[in-house]
Every structure is written in structure tokens, then in C-alpha cells.
Structure 1
Amino acid sequence: MTPDDDVAAARAGDEAAFTRLAQRHRRELAAHCYRMLGSPHDAEDALQETLLAAWRGLPGFEGRSSLRTWLYRVATSVCLRQARRRPRLLSPDAGPPRSDVTDLGEPVPGPVWLEPLPEDLADDRTDDLDPATAYLRRESVELAYVAALQHLPATQRAVLLLREVLGYSAAETAALLGTTPASVNSALQRARGGLAERLPARSQQAELARLGGAGRAALVERFVAAWESADVDALLGLLTDDVRFTMPPLPAWFAGRHDVGRFLAQRVFATPWRLRPATVNASAGLLCEQHADGAWRPGSVIVLGLREGRVGWIAGFVDPALHALFVTGSAGDR
């Protein structure tokens, strides 16, 4: 059956046809929800609500826009409602950096932290796009970009994503959001300004391109070798002078080689580790296991923020549920 046949059948109540339609758009909608909400778990919840609302509303779909555009309208509406119901996500470097490596604070509970995105949950339409658009889509799920998005009001976030990531015109975006092109253009201008204040000079895609595939592999290999052998000096040699080490849901974070080195030596390397390279948020990442009580246990998910061939941000996520997500590839397992 063609997609148009599936639309007609689904509107008539054929659940199998709707399932096929949903599957075609599932991952790109999930990526959109992740950009909006900053959490793969919240994105999965939003996606499920989107598909339920779409199934219920499909008989009223009149075909004045494409089904894909209509689904984005539903998904964006769901995400806006979710974003307005919950507190804004905390920055992983909320508060000043610490120098006391013995006190990391108590984990801050609840869905309040930005979370990383596994590669297999990212938008898989990038393979069908032209290189420039695919590059932009990968940039739009980078950790720093998604973190910066969360500082924007939800409507500005939606406008920016619809206009600059998904490529909808001002008129199309206005129709999606139930507003005017003038309001869309105004929100886009404010969103661009807010984003520019928080984004690094170069994206991770640019940093990775500068390194090349072999350079990236070599850097990650050296990082893994130094970490697994607890070689603090070798690891510090890979870091920028102003490196940050964040680790939500713990509130503590460290800045600069000196304090990061002390934290590594006195706390992190108190037990053995093993690391496996992974693509996280379209960037270099690591899945980490820690040896404790005679067994290897989930340790953390790390995203490496690269700058000029060195590591400028070690974003460690120490929630075991996140490690499980990267192993199982299912946000719904949490």
C-alpha cells in the first residue's frame, strides 16, 4: 500500500495502516520531541501522547497539509504543554564549580536535568537528506545545542526548531503554531539571540570534521586508555586548560585541569573502570562500567565536548537508568 492508501485506511479506522504511518515518522518525531524537552524519556512520553492524539484526530485530518506536517503540529503542541507543566531543566553546571572533591552533594531528583540521546534514537531521516541539511540535523541534537535550547521559552524553542532545523517557512510555522508570521519572525529573532549567547564558537560537527575520522578515533582511544589505566597525567594531557567535568544528577562539578585532576585521582579512579566508545548526541561518547563488589556495574554515560583537538567538557551522566537506556535503546524502559 502507498502512504496515501494508508492515510485513507487509517482514517477509516484501520489500526495496522496507522501503525505503518507512525513507523515512517516515529524517529524524526522523537528527535523533535527530544530537542524540545531535553530528555529521551520525556520525548518518548511526548511521542506516545502525539501518536495517541493523532490516531484519535485522524478522521478530522483534511489533507490541507502533508501528514508529516500535521504530525509535527500535534507533536509540537504536546511538547509545548509538557514544557509548560514542568520546571525548566537545570544546567549541568548550575551554581559555581567546586574544589572540595569529598562533597559532591546529594543527587537532585526528578526530571530536571538535560539528558543525553543515544544514536539509535536520533532522527534517521538524515540519510535521506542533502549533506548540508543532514549536517544541520546532527548539530541540532548536540548536547550544547539542546542545553542552550532549554534556556529559551518553550514557544521560542518551537519556532526556532520548526524554522531552522525542520525548514518550515514563517507562514507554515505560523499555521503550525496557530499564530501569525509576524509573531513567528519576532520569536525567531529573540530565539537566535538567546541561543548565540550560549553556544560555543564551533559545533561538535565542525570539531569532528576538523579532526577527521582517524583523528577522532585516535583521541577517543587515548582517552579510554588513560581512563582505564587511571593515568591522570595522560588524561590531563588531553584536556583543555579550562575543562569542565559535570555529572548530573549530582550538583557538584569541577572546572580547570587542577581541580578536575584532583577529582579524577581522589574519587573517580578509586575503583577500576572499563569504557566503550559510542556515539552520543551525534558526538563522541563513552559508555562506562565501574567495578564494584566483585562485578562490573553501570557507571555513567559520558559525552566528550571537543575543542581544537582536546576535550573541553566531560559531561558525565551517572543515573544508572540512562546507562540502561543506551544498552537497550528503549526510552520506555525507564
Structure 2
Amino acid sequence: MPRLLRIRKNVFTLRPRGNEWANANINILKSRKPAIIDCGSTFGTNINYFKKILRSLGIQTIDKIIISHSHIDHCQNTGLFAEQFGAEVIAHKNAIPILKRSKQGFDAFDYWELVEEAFPRIFHSRLNWLYRRILLMGFNFFVYKRGGRVKNVTTVSEGDVIDLGDMNLEVLFTPGHSDDGLCLLEKKLKILFTGDMIPWTPYIHTNIEDFRTSILKILKYSDEFDIKTMVRGHLRPQDAQIEKKNYRIFLRDMDVAEKRILTLLKHKQPLTSKDMLPYIFQRTHFAHQLIYRVIMRTQQFWIAKYLQDLEHKKLIKSSKKGKKTLYYLME
């Protein structure tokens, strides 16, 4: 069952029905201009249930819908909610193609890179075309075309302030998990809404450098403004001190993984990503290990991102040999 959590006076998080990993929270701000941050998916929260929740809080309508990023579990209901409430939709400019449904096919399926890397035996096989087609048909029918198209989007970027009357949300542009990621800072209430820029995220849409830079920005602002609570896009809000510790562990784990790649290549080269995979994967937390290694198999995806980052830094180089990609240290 969904759970409504009170974070501060007039600030609430509605946790979704069903699987909380696959469906995002909706954050409700009962301000003079009532707003929500993210609007979930059709699988997690339907419009009639959401209206009932709003009435229980004494809110009759929504003035603004703010999208932390354009992954379906956070924004699928945007078109439907905007039409029902006549609300202004606010997002980063990179979110527009998804919100307006102008992206088609696999361009709209942000997780394709993850799926392809996590299940290489399937999606790198001769039947790749068939698996891709089945996956795309299912995604379009059950996910992408549900929830409606957004007609108009107000774009925001780093440093903009969203005025809600008695609350103000400062925008931090935090790419990494997605290329349109926003964190939202309410200085007076000492709350930071982090969307899916969370320490155990299984997926980054852009690159390691973006992700690392965005984490450092979150840490900087949370220290500078003495943030007390960080509100994730999934599961419960977190005490800021605990969450900052989790971010620093994640940063350390990423550094360890890249150092292991360089050490392996120093002792033996060339190597493929498959050769290195058993030795470089690093996650300190037990739950991270379980999610990444067993449930979602994302270690294959992460090593691809680490190698991409090291090539960008010109610490390693690669070459093709048949279907294999071989990696070497730069001389």
C-alpha cells in the first residue's frame, strides 16, 4: 500500500503502490502555489487515488509539476496530471523529447544501454534483432504510450529559483543518472530533493565524470546550507549526515574500481572487459552487492562506464580484434 510521509510542515512524500524500486515517489509541497516533484508512473499511482490524497491534505489543485528527470518511473503521469490540474510542467530542456513524446523507438528507452550490457549473451547474439523488437514493442505498449503527452514545458537550469509563494526551490543541474537530472534545494526548510542522484543508483545515463561532479555538488550545497534531510526519488527520505556518508562511500568505491583496472592492465595486457570484470567491481555496502551483482547484473554496465572514463582521461586505450575490444595502458 502507498504510504504518505510528512517530512516537514506542508512537505510530504507519497510512496507508490507495488514495487518501490520500479515506481518513484511523488513529493507534495502544500504551499501558496501547490506543487509536486515528480508524478510517478501509471503502475504506481493513478489519478483518482492521487486526488484523494490531495484532498486529505486540504489541497484542491496543483499549480506546478516539477520533473527531477525524464525516466518513465518519475514522469509517466506528467501529461495526465498536467491536463487534470491545468498545471505548469517544469523540467530541464533535455527532458522535453520524452515529455512531449517526440522521441521514438529506442531513443525513448533510456535503459537500453544497461539492458544490453547486463545480458550480453542475449543481446549480443544473432537473435539480437528479435529480442530488441520484442522489448521495444512491450516498452511502447505498456509504458511509453501510457500517461499522455505534455503540451508545454517550462525549462529551468542551474541557479534558477522556482517560486511557490511561501517556498522557493533552487535548481541544481546534476547530470549522471540521466542527462536532464535536477536536484531541488529548499534553503529555509533545509531539504534537498535529489531525485535519482542517490548513492546506490544502478544506472548512469551519461558518464562517470558527470556522476562524480554531481555528487560533489550535492555534498557542497548540503554542507554550505546545513541541509538536514535529503529526499530520494525512491524509498524513504534520509538524514543528510547519513546520506552524505553514503555518497562519500560511493565516490571511494568508484575510485577503487578504476585503480583496480589500471593495476590489472599494469600486470597483464591486453585484457577485455570480461577478463577484468571479476576483479574490479567494488561496492562496500552489502545491499549494493546484492542489487548490482545478483538482481540487476549491472556490473557489466559499470565496467563499460569505468573503461570509457579511463579512456577519456587518456590513461588507457582500446583496439578491436574481431568482435572483442582489447584494452591497454597508455604508454
- TM-score if structure 2 supplies the norm length? 0.28
Q: Which has the higher helix share?
A: 1
Q: Which has the higher strand share?
A: 2
Name the structure, 1 or 2, with higher relative contact order (CA <8 Å, separation 6+). 1
- TM-score if structure 1 supplies the norm length? 0.28
